[in-house]
Amino acid sequence: MSSLSQESILNTLKTIKYPGYSRDIVSFGLVKNIAINGANIAVTLQLTSNNAEAARQIQGECEHALKQMPGVAVAHVEVNQRASSGGGAASGGAHGTTPWANQNRVPGIKHIVAVASGKGGVGKSTTSANLACGLHHLGAKVGLLDCDIYGPSIPLMMGTKERPGLSEHEKMIPPVSHGVRLMSMGFLIQDDQPVIWRGPMIQRTIQQFITVTEWGELDILLVDLPPGTGDAQLTLCQTVPLDGGVIVTTPQEASLGVVRKGIGMFAKVNVPLLGLVENMSYFTAPNGERIEIFGHGGGRQEAERLGIPFLGEVPIFTEIREGGDQGVPVVVSAPTHPAGAAFLQIAEALRRKLK
């Protein structure tokens, strides 16, 4: 009996990268139809560009990979492309070379990864700050963009309130703290000044943070998203092609239930999940007793249930909270402490996923 299935074929197609990108054709949403007839496979792809060379390369790589699958006798891949509208530059440009219409890579940035959570209070910004510093500690060139317009906390956690400079090209020059380049609404407003904006203002601000900032050469730009699935998240996904998302949760079901919505959001906008992080996993009392305040293992179990990578768990340590309050993340102040080591292990796991 044939073991071929839609799932096994999709998993094979996930090994095919779009030319010039680190993302696969499945996460870009290019696979439109899969037909299985005994040992014969027919796959239909729809490209949003009219790049003929990219189409030929993708078709060849797909057919080669599918023919290597056990039980496959014939593999046919049909690649449909956006029809050229004539009109010179208007019909070419980004559409001719990128898999997403109206989206371009940010020059100099190799990977953009969003850090998200379904609800607030799970330590997402703390995780973002420590992951950024952890990746820098591991030798990467890192930027950290705070997309929480209403409640920016990265300036406090990274220990700087320096306003961005202005380059000769009239772009913002991001402040640098602990070796990480930063951008946040918190650098542009007074300490206690509220931001009372509607959605369109948030969208424009996030777009400017990405495209009107001189990030320079970065291996990875981490984007700390606000909780939920609103304007900030959609604007980011529509502005630049993301290389993946990281979900932060706590072990209890109240957090995991909302996290599923965040995972669903990434799926709908074709952003691959790089993994899930369980924060506040447990607390070790002075007598050595392990106390699982929020339960334990829910994050790992949820990752296994959904078939996404589990990047690691972070126990509760007062050093983590103190580092955030003092503007020196624990990865910087105490990388060998169990708290710092936990974030470093997650940073290394994330770096391996990107490779």
pLDDT classification of 115: cutoffs 50, 70, 90: very high
Question: Can you tell me the distance from the alpha carbon of 351 to that of 141, in angstroms, rounded to the nearest whole number?
Answer: 12
- pLDDT tens by residue, 66-84: 999 998 988 999 998 865 4
Q: Put residue 115 in one of left, alpha, beta given phi > 0 → left and psi -120 to 50 → alpha.
A: beta
- In order, the DSSP letters of 201-229 are HHHHHHHHHHHSB---SEEEEEEEPPSSS
Provide CATH 3.30.300.130 ranges for the chain: 6-97
Tokens read off for 105? 């890579």
- pLDDT tens by residue, 239-262: 777 888 999 988 877 677 777 777
Q: Tell me the three state secondary structure of residue 297.
A: coil
Provide CATH 3.40.50.300 ranges for the chain: 109-354
Q: Say yes or no to pLDDT of 95 above 50.
A: no
Question: Can you tell me the distance from the alpha carbon of 59 to that of 21, in angstroms, rounded to the nearest whole number?
Answer: 16
Measured distance between the N- and C-terminal CA atoms of the chain, rounded to whole angstroms: 36
pLDDT, position 209: 87
Question: Can you tell me the distance from the alpha carbon of 345 to that of 313, in angstroms, rounded to the nearest whole number?
Answer: 9
Select from 3.30.479.30, 2.60.40.10, 3.20.80.10, 3.40.50.300 the CATH code of 109-354: 3.40.50.300
pLDDT, position 262: 76
Cα-based distances in Å from 296 to 23, 147, 251, 315: 33, 29, 5, 10
pLDDT classification of 85: cutoffs 50, 70, 90: very low
When the pLDDT of each residue in the chain is averaged and rounded to a whole number, the result is: 83
pLDDT classification of 49: cutoffs 50, 70, 90: confident
The pTM (predicted TM-score) of the whole model is 0.70
Q: Return the percentage of the chain with pLDDT > 70, whole number.
A: 85
pLDDT classification of 98: cutoffs 50, 70, 90: very low
pLDDT, position 232: 67
Question: Can you tell me the distance from the alpha carbon of 235 to that of 202, in angstroms, rounded to the nearest whole number?
Answer: 9
CATH class of 6-97: alpha beta
